[in-house]
Amino acid sequence: MPVPPEQGMKKELKRQQYLDLYYHMRLNRAVEDMMVKLFRQNKIVGGLYSSLGQEAISVGTAYALEKKDWLAPMIRNIGALLVKGVRPRDIFMQHMAKYDSPTKGKDGTSHFGDLDDLHIVSPISMLGDLIPVMTGVAMAGRYLGQKIVTMTWIGDGGSSTGVFHEGLNFAATQKAPFVLILENNLWAYSTPVRKQVPLENLADRAKAYGIDSYIVDGNDAVAVYSVAKEAVDRARAGEGPILIEAKSFRRMGHAQHDPAEYVPKEMRAYWEARDPIALYERFLSSEKLLDAKSKKEVEDKIDSLLAVEREFAENSPMPPPELAETGVYCTGDGCHKIRAKWERPIAEVTPPRSSVKAVWTVPGFGSGKASDGANAPIHFGDTHAPQHRVGNDTKSANGGKPAAKMAAKAAPKKTVKTAGASRKARR
């Protein structure tokens, strides 16, 4: 059975950061618990997907982003939405198809976004499509001088799509400031990861794109955050896209209707004993960051918040039928004013500055030159090479040893050992 590397939680964050991570993981789980209740009361119109056991990934990765950064969630990333500032009521109402929901009942689940304020792109059900889209957002952000990073998630199953490859390869050729979180939860609906991908570590795929990658224990909130923060910082610094494989387990079925009886009992038991919130609480207690009183405070805060949010959601009406006819097209500036937010001088990208004589030519193949005046190679417009050479190897959470070495070392046991890890005996 594939198991993640254990980094062992380390105390290197600020107190408030630890508590933020905790709060959002608890909120993530509480929101989903409440939706299970709503589902059983037939108040949720369509399917309900669970991220139980994967909260540390959604929360830890999204927490590494800044306000100006962009993210696009997948179906099991409600935690990421909460961290980015989405209100629980919006998530409830999306699932309940209410008129006040972000899509006014036109779509459900986490299929909603917010271009202007929260910088969230809505997913669609077809897996992998967000990868080129978030690459495009990253390229646009760079072009406009915004210094943003974009992030999206994909599952082990979704990593088999063609657009995963097209998107990640394009991001790599463009050195787009983009971080892709590959949540390896071992199951794509009923198909185990081994039947989808003949690789021990899905992070190895990064090598094919010439980009860096990390492997992290997806049930370790601190490790997830630390890795994500490092990746986001590197992407922002211009090192190009980075792939993070977070190893975890999908505790529920594909959706509520699926009892997931195809999952071996031992596998489930192993991962249930590694519940990310329970692990984190133990760590916080040992570090004296959380006690019974402060834990109760968090629970009360969440309870009272969700009571209000749920009431609002339940009181929202269903959309009027004729709404179905509206909104297919943007009708012009009165509907949406399209405006690029420039944070660099426009003169840098407008002629005559970009109207420069070619510095190289290939007979019959036109000519070109970078607009910054540097002698541009054929493959990267104005992207500057990083100061130091970046390897293409997978790294551990702490920027440690390349995975190639780790994998070689650990090959007989088919596990990956990472820097500072204290490995425990496993079945």
H/E segment holding residue 319: none
CB of 247 to another protein, least distance (A): 27
CB 135 within 8 A of CB 171: yes
Nearest distance from C-beta of residue 399 to another protein, angstroms: 29
The total of other beta-carbon atoms located within 10 Å of residue 230's CB is 20
* Cβ–Cβ under 8 Å, residues 35 and 95: yes
The reply on whether position 117 binds another protein by CB under 8 A is no
Residue 28 CB, shortest distance to another protein, in Å, is 22
Contact call for residue 328 and another protein (CB under 8 A) = yes
Q: How many CA atoms lie within 13 A of 39 on its CB side?
A: 16
Residue 71 interacts with another protein (CB under 8 A)? no
Please report, for the chain, how many H helices and E strands are present, in that order: 12, 10
- Residue 177 Cβ vs another protein, minimum distance, rounded to whole Å: 12
Instruction: Establish if 160 lies at the interface with another protein (CB under 8 A).
Output: no
Residue from 10, 43, 111, 295 touching another protein (CB under 8 A): that is 111
Region of 422 on the Ramachandran plot (φ > 0 left; ψ -120 to 50 alpha; else beta):
beta
252 secondary structure, DSSP code: S
335 is a contact residue toward another protein (CB under 8 A): yes
Q: Tell me if 392 contacts another protein by CB under 8 A.
A: no
Tell the smallest beta-carbon distance from residue 159 to another protein (Å). 15
| Least distance CB 139 / another protein (angstroms) | 6
Q: Looking at 307, 362, 385, 408, which residue binds another protein (CB under 8 A)?
A: 362
Indicate the DSSP class of residue 424: P
Number of residues that bind another protein (CB under 8 A): 71
- For residues 242 and 207, give the distance between their C-alpha atoms in angstroms, rounded to a whole number: 11
Q: Considering only 23-31, 114-122, 257-265, 311-319, which stretch makes contact with another protein by CB under 8 A?
A: 114-122
Q: Is position 332 an interface residue for another protein (rule: CB under 8 A)? A: yes
Interface segment toward another protein; rule CB under 8 A; list 76-84, 85-93, 166-174, 301-309: 166-174
- In the region spanning residues 128 to 147, those forming contacts with another protein, defined by CB under 8 A, are 129, 131-141, 143-144
**Stretch in the footprint of another protein (CB under 8 A) among 78-86, 104-112, 278-286, 301-309:** 104-112
Q: Are 299 and 281 in contact (CB under 8 A)?
A: no
Residue-wise burial string across 12-37, b where 16 or more C-beta atoms lie within 10 A, e elsewhere: ebeeeebbbbbbbbbbbbbbbebbee
115 part of the interface to another protein, by CB under 8 A: yes
Task: State yes or no: cis peptide before 352, omega within 30 of 0.
Answer: yes
Write the CA distances from 4 to 150, 185, 249, 416, integer angstroms: 25, 11, 10, 7
The only residue of 17, 160, 256, 354 in contact with another protein, by rule CB under 8 A: 354
What is the footprint of another protein within residues 172-201 (CB under 8 A)? 173-174
102 binds another protein (CB under 8 A): yes
Residue 358 is a binding residue for another protein (CB under 8 A): yes
Residue 223 makes contact with another protein by CB under 8 A: no
For residues 16 and 375, which CB has a smaller minimum distance to another protein in the complex? 375
Closer to another protein by Cβ: residue 100 or 382: 382
330 binds another protein (CB under 8 A): yes
Task: Identify whether the C-beta of residue 179 lies closer than 8 Å to the C-beta of residue 150.
Answer: yes
334 exposed, middle or buried (CB, 10 Å; 0-12, 13-18, 19+)?
A: exposed
**Residue 85 touches another protein, criterion: CB under 8 A:** no
Smaller CB separation from another protein, 262 or 360: 360
Residue 395 contacts residue 207 (beta carbons within 8 Å): no
What is the C-alpha to C-alpha distance for residues 122 and 114, in angstroms, rounded to an integer?
8
Cα–Cα distance, 89 to 101 (Å, whole number): 8
The answer to whether residue 103 forms part of the interface with another protein (CB under 8 A) is yes
Interface pick for another protein out of 42, 162, 292, 317 (rule CB under 8 A): 162
